[in-house]
């Protein structure tokens, strides 16, 4: 096999608690992450030599060498101690700075795709370590299944959830994650008890209990992010008004999502688009586990 094409799924955070800052500069977090059917497309082709990257769709306006997918490929070939020899083409649908993990997902797809093209030369644990070097979210995308994430995001445990329907509202701007963490640290004087429980969330989702679900989608970033970007709070209120059982910021933003248990999300999408406040509106679902076949599309 000389070519492989994969879906690099976006993700949502179903609840996100941010704890204290650690000695390594990262923060402790607790969240449940789910992959979506919405995402980027990554195609990798073996070549005679060299490493090239082409981006279509949403443009990132950064040098290829700064792209996380390019860095993932460089790291993979360095680990194998062979010269780079592939062409990577990514069709971007996930906006940068949207809280949907697009860059991390692309990087994980490159690691998985190269592993498939080169007959799985690295163990799962080595791939996980490479992913963790690239970013806190990248190990999650190696699994691309609903997971509880702890530590700085690299400590993962799979969790069984039903298929979930979402409407995403994505503004035309991103939220800088480093700024969000600094603003959160400045704003709070002390940590409160952890207000979410992934175990309770999973139970409430399986039992289809809206009130219990809404209570578990607390996001530590919302107070500081909504203060600076009030239009994101208005987007959350709009989703709740249109029948979402719960709505929340994903990650540190800028995407706001609504979880729909009852109404048809496509019908809701039409209503939301009429009042979407200049946001892009997307209807999507959580994605079943597909990494056993490399997520090939």
Query: Which alpha helices (H) appear in the chain, and where do they start and end?
Result: 68-80, 102-117, 124-134, 138-143, 177-187, 198-207, 210-216, 222-228, 230-241, 265-274
Tokens 């797809």 locate to 109
Taking every pair of Cα atoms in the chain, the longest distance, rounded to a whole number of angstroms, is: 57
Give CA–CA dist 16/252, Å, rounded: 9
Give CA–CA dist 255/174, Å, rounded: 8
Burial bucket for residue 147 (CB in 10 Å: 0-12, 13-18, 19+): buried
Give CA–CA dist 43/32, Å, rounded: 28
Tokens 């139970």 locate to 203
Q: What is the DSSP string of 188-245?
A: -SSPPPP---HHHHHHHHHHT-HHHHHHH--BTTHHHHHHH-HHHHHHHHHHHHTT-S
Q: Are strands 256-260 and 165-170 parallel, antiparallel or unpaired?
A: antiparallel
Q: Which residues are catalytic?
A: 11, 137
**For residue 226, what are the contacts with CB-CB under 8 A and spacing of at least 6?**
232, 233, 236, 249
Q: What are phi and psi of 255, to 5 degrees?
A: -75, 135
Give which of 151, 131, 150 is closest to 139, Cα–Cα: 131
Going 132 to 137 to 140 to 141, the CA torsion angle's sign is negative
């Amino acid at each position: 096999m000389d070519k492989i094409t994969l879906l690099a799924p976006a993700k949502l955070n179903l609840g996100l608690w941010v704890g204290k800052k650690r000695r390594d500069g990262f923060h402790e977090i607790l969240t449940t992450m789910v992959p979506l059917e919405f995402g980027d497309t990554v195609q990798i082709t073996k070549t005679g030599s060299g490493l090239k990257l082409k981006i279509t769709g949403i443009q990132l306006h950064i040098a290829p060498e700064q792209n996380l997918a390019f860095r993932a490929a460089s790291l993979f070939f360095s680990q194998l101690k062979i010269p780079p020899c592939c062409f990577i083409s990514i069709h971007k649908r996930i906006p940068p700075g949207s809280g949907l993990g697009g860059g991390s997902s692309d990087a994980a797809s490159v690691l998985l795709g190269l592993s498939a093209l080169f007959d799985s030369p690295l163990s799962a644990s080595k791939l996980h370590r490479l992913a963790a070097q690239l970013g806190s979210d990248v190990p999650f995308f190696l699994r691309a299944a609903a997971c509880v994430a702890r530590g700085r995001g690299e400590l993962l445990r799979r969790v069984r959830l039903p298929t979930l329907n979402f409407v995403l509202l994505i503004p035309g701007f991103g939220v800088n994650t480093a700024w969000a963490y600094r603003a959160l640290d400045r704003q709070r004087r002390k940590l409160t008890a952890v207000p979410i429980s992934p175990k309770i969330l999973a139970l409430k989702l399986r039992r289809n209990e809206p009130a219990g679900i809404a209570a578990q989608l607390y996001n530590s970033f919302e107070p500081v992010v909504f203060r600076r970007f009030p239009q994101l709070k208005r987007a959350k209120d709009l989703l709740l008004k249109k029948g979402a059982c719960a709505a929340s910021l994903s990650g540190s933003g800028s995407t706001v999502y609504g979880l729909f248990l009852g109404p048809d999300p496509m019908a809701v999408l039409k209503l939301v688009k009429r009042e979407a406040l200049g946001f892009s509106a997307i209807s999507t679902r959580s994605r079943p586990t597909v990494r056993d076949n490399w997520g090939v599309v």
